[in-house]
């Protein structure tokens, strides 16, 4: 019988202790960074392209486990243009959801941490005075002497103007921030207000002991300062109407278990839309829904995107959903982006062998096949990733060159690029759109 030390996945006690020490040291450093006190100038940056609302630039998000460091997102770079829908596709475990959770700063800590890279976002931040307080905008009136003065209420206090949602109006400033470098406290003013997320499974995301109304109102009261309970209830019911719920007042009083899967998914969308966000992250929004409800949810997302003039980051493994919804497509494999382009580029002219395999594995209406194609082999271990192309061991078009360093991106057209040695020599290219 072979010695345990010869086994590929064997970790000795000494190695385990060393991994634990290194993990603890790294986690303390990253947690200290997130809890630091920082001024907006410390995490202010510039967009590479002003037409984008989000730019991921060489993002690395790792999980520090007892067996080693899991590189869930390992150098992801792509952009989301303002007013567009970008579909992120790939098989389970490729890093789609971890990329979106990194954007929201919701990666499960302390083991999960954003290690390096940038996430640039065009944000509207509250202006602050010397003491760090928000600066309100007051109502004014013209006095009998023709001088403009701030209005006072019966108690002699200044009256703050109200915004479109019924909350207090504050002075704002447009600023490009690097979310990967923002402290947690500063991120709370963006998460839910400017970037919101429709989570993957509504039954596990909604709290079973609170009514739908309570959960909607909580978002409004948290992010819309100065709004009354009566106003936030009316706004919540309006959101339920917007997502196509026939009896919004009735659903407002119900618990999650009293609703169907499609209704719960609509409630999740209503919660995401409550504060008129610039960007909606839809993580598998049609999972576990029947085909009819899927079509309704997709139509709803498309309609809402135009109403709020926002952008959508659509995460899914369903290529049919992506073909119908997305303007741009990003294909991920083992924590990296392997191909990106417009929807027409990816579906009409797939280049990477993995993208081709994904499309061949999907049944077609007019195709007559006895057996669907299956990509051979297995996804590499995310703890000990190879230096060469991660797809090499599963690729049916592998070349000798594929045993070298991980391939750089090759720009095939102005909108289409691929990381594969099958397509030309290494070229310097910018972020994909």
* Residue 334 contacts residue 384 (beta carbons within 8 Å): no
Backbone angles phi, psi at 411, to 5 degrees: -80, 110
How confident is the model over 32-67, as pLDDT tens digits? 999 998 888 899 999 999 999 999 999 999 999 988
What is the model's pLDDT at position 346?
Answer: 94
CA gap 123, 172 in Å, rounded? 10
Q: Sheet of 52-65: strands edge to edge?
A: 68-81, 52-65, 112-126, 172-178
Q: Whole-model pTM?
A: 0.88
How confident is the model over 295-335, as pLDDT tens digits? 888 888 888 888 778 899 999 888 888 988 999 999 999 99
What is the model's pLDDT at position 8?
Answer: 55
Span 185-197, average pLDDT: 92
CA gap 258, 331 in Å, rounded? 37
Q: What is the DSSP letter of 260?
A: -
Least confident of 119-128, 179-188, 372-381: 372-381
* Residues constituting the chain: 433
How confident is the model over 324-372, as pLDDT tens digits? 899 999 999 999 999 999 999 999 999 999 999 988 887 776 667 677 7
Token pair listed for 395? 């690729």
Q: Comparing C-alpha atoms, which of 173, 176, 193, 175 is closest to residue 57?
A: 176
* Residue 77 contacts residue 337 (beta carbons within 8 Å): yes
Element (H, E) at 68: strand 68-81
Element (H, E) at 141: strand 140-142
């Amino acid at each position: 019988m072979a010695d345990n030390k010869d086994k590929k996945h064997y970790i000795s006690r000494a190695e385990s202790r060393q991994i634990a020490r290194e993990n603890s040291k790294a986690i303390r450093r990253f947690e200290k960074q997130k809890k630091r006190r920082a001024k907006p100038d410390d995490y202010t940056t510039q967009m590479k392209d002003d037409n984008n609302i989000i730019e991921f630039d060489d993002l690395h998000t790792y999980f520090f486990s007892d067996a080693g460091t899991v590189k869930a997102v390992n150098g992801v770079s792509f952009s989301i243009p303002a007013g567009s829908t970008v579909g992120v596709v790939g098989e389970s475990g490729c890093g789609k959801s971890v990329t979106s959770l990194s954007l929201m700063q919701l990666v499960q800590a302390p083991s999960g941490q954003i290690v390096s890279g940038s996430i640039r976002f065009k944000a509207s931040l509250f202006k602050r005075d010397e003491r760090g307080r928000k600066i309100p905008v007051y109502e004014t009136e013209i006095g009998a002497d023709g001088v403009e003065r701030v209005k006072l209420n019966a108690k002699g206090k200044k009256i703050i103007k109200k915004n479109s949602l019924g909350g207090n109006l504050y002075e704002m400033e447009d600023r490009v921030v690097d979310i990967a470098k923002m402290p947690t406290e500063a991120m709370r003013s963006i998460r839910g207000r400017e970037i919101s997320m429709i989570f993957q499974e509504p039954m596990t995301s909604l709290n079973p002991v609170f009514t739908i109304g309570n959960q909607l109102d909580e978002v409004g009261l948290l992010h819309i300062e100065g709004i009354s309970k009566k106003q936030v209830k009316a706004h919540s019911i309006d959101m339920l109407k917007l997502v196509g719920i026939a009896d919004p007042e009735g659903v407002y009083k119900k618990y999650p278990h009293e609703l169907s899967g499609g209704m719960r998914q609509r409630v999740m969308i209503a919660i995401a839309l409550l504060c008129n966000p610039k960007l909606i992250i839809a993580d598998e929004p049609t999972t576990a829904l029947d085909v009819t409800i899927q079509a309704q949810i997709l139509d709803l997302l498309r309609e809402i995107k135009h109403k709020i003039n926002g952008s959508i980051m659509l995460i899914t493994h369903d290529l049919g959903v992506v073909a119908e919804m997305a303007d741009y497509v990003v294909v991920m494999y083992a924590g990296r982006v392997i191909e990106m382009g417009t929807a027409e580029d990816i579906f009409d002219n797939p280049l990477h062998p993995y993208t081709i395999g994904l499309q061949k594995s999907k049944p077609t209406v007019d195709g007559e096949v006895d057996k669907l194609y299956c990509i051979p082999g297995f996804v590499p271990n995310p703890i000990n990733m190879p230096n060469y192309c991660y797809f090499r061991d599963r690729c049916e078009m592998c070349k000798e060159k594929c045993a070298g360093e991980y391939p750089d991106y090759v720009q095939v057209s102005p909108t289409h690029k691929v990381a594969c040695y099958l397509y030309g020599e290494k070229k310097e290219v910018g972020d994909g759109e």
